Amino acid sequence: MAESSPVKGAVPAPRAELRGSAPVRGTEAAGDQAPGLDADADVHAGPDADTARRPDADPASHPDADPAYCPGPGVGPDGDPGPDPGPGPASTTAPRHLPPRTGVAALSPRYQVGAALALAVVAVAVCVHVGIVFLHVAPSNTVTKAHGKAIDDWIYPEFEQNWKLFAPNPLQQNIAVQVRAQIRGADGGSRTTGWYDLSAQDGREIDGNLVPSHTQQNELRRAWDFFTATHDGSARPVGLRGALAETYLRRVVVMRLERGAVHGGEAVERVQVRSRTTNVPPPKWSTDKVSTSPVYRVLSWWSVPDGATEGGTR
C-alpha cells in the first residue's frame, strides 16, 4: 500500500520516549509547555502557596504527628524545649499597713494591765452587790441569820428594796420636799434663804427626758419616805434606824443647797425641811370628795456639821 503523504500543516505525533530515559516531571513538562504559568501562579497564590509547598506543612508528611498537639511557649517548632526564659522580675508588692489600734489595745502594756485590774475590781464589786441584794430580798436563811447586820448596813439607806409598785391602792397624793437654810457669808454675816422646792427641781429635770436618771427620780423621795417611816408625827425616831434616816435626809438636802443656793466663800450652818402634801383631785366621774388644800409638815432646824455631805452616821 502506498504511504500517504503528510498533510501540510498537521501537528506531528509525539516521538516515543527513548528507552532508559527518566520520566519527565509534571512541573518540568508544564514549564516546557507554559513557561510563564508558574510565575503567575506564585503571584496570585500568595503566602498560602508557599506554605503548601513546604514539606513540613503537610500533616501526611509526618505520620507520627498528633493533630491536637500544640507546642507550649517554651517548646521549639520540632518539639524540643526552647531556651530557658530565666527568672521573672522581682516582686515589687508594697508592704501592707496594719490599721491603727483602738480602745484598750492602743494602750501600752502597763496601762492595759491597769485597765484589766480596774475591770476585774468593778466586776467583783458588781457581783458582791448583786449577791447582797439577793440575800436581802430572799427569805430568812442561814446566811442572813449569821450576817444580817452586815447585809443591812450595805443595803440601807441607798439600796433599800420594797414592793410598793405592786400595791393595789397606789398613793394618790403629791408630796413635795422643800428646804431652806441659814448661810454664813464670807464676811461673817448670816442670812436665811427662802424655801427651795427640791421636788419641783427634780420634776423639771425629768420632764421631757426620755432616760431620766435614777437619782432624779428616787433619791429625794426615798430619803423622805425613809425618814417618815422611822419617825412619828413629832419627828421623834421610833426605830433603830431613826438617826440614820435623819442623817441621810440632811445630807441629801445640803448637797442640793450647795449646788444651787451657796455661792463662793459661803457655808451652810443650819437647814430646815418641810413637806407639802396635796391630794390628787378625783376624776369627774368619781363621787369621792377630797380636799385639795396643801398640808405642810415642818421639821425643826438641823445643824450642819463639817463634812455633812460625806457618808456615815453622825
Write the pLDDT tens digit of every residue in 282-298: 888 878 788 889 999 99
243 & 185 share domain: yes
Q: State whether the Cα torsion 225-229-234-240 is positive or negative.
A: negative
Task: Note whether residue 241 is domain-resident.
Answer: yes
Counted domains in the chain: 2
Confidence of residue 28 (pLDDT cuts 50, 70, 90): very low
State the residue for C-alpha cell 370628795: 289
Task: Note whether residue 64 is domain-resident.
Answer: no
244, 156 contact by CB (below 8 A) = yes
212 & 266 share domain: yes
**Residue 171 pLDDT > 70:** no
Least trusted range by pLDDT, from 164-173, 230-239, 253-262: 164-173
User: 133, 253, 128: which is closest to 193 by C-alpha?
Assistant: 253
242 & 281 share domain: yes
User: 205, 204, 181, 206: which is closest to 263 by C-alpha?
Assistant: 181
Q: What is the pLDDT of residue 12?
A: 56
Q: From residue 106, how far is each of 27, 98, 100 by CA, in Å?
A: 91, 13, 8
**Residue 25 pLDDT > 80:** no
- pTM score: 0.49
**By residue range, what is the domain housing residue 111?**
107-151
181 & 265 share domain: yes
What is the C-alpha to C-alpha distance for residues 219 and 177, in angstroms, rounded to an integer? 11
Task: Note whether residue 27 is domain-resident.
Answer: no
Residue 253 CB contacts under 8 Å (≥ 6 apart), including other chains: 177, 179, 198, 271, 273
Q: What is the pLDDT of residue 39?
A: 45
Confidence of residue 123 (pLDDT cuts 50, 70, 90): very high
DSSP assignment of 192-240 equals E---EEHHHHHHHHHTT-SS--HIIIIIHHHHHHHHHHTB-TTS-B-ST
What is the C-alpha to C-alpha distance for residues 171 and 162, in angstroms, rounded to an integer? 15
Confidence of residue 44 (pLDDT cuts 50, 70, 90): very low
136 & 255 share domain: no
Average pLDDT, stretch 189-211? 90
Other beta carbons within 10 angstroms of residue 245's beta carbon come to 23
117 & 227 share domain: no
Confidence of residue 139 (pLDDT cuts 50, 70, 90): confident
144 & 182 share domain: no
State the residue for C-alpha cell 527513548: 18
211 & 178 share domain: yes
How far, rounded to the nearest angstrom, does the alpha carbon of residue 63 sit from its chain's CA centroid?
73
User: 268, 256, 292: which is closest to 178 by C-alpha?
Assistant: 256
177, 258 contact by CB (below 8 A) = no
208 & 289 share domain: yes
Say which DSSP state 271 is in: E
Grid cell in block for residue 34: 507554559
23-34 burial, b at 16+ Cβ within 10 Å, e below that, comes to eeeeeeeeeeee
Task: Note whether residue 181 is domain-resident.
Answer: yes
Confidence of residue 143 (pLDDT cuts 50, 70, 90): confident
Average pLDDT, stretch 182-204? 90
Q: What is the pLDDT of residue 170?
A: 63
Q: What is the pLDDT of residue 49?
A: 47
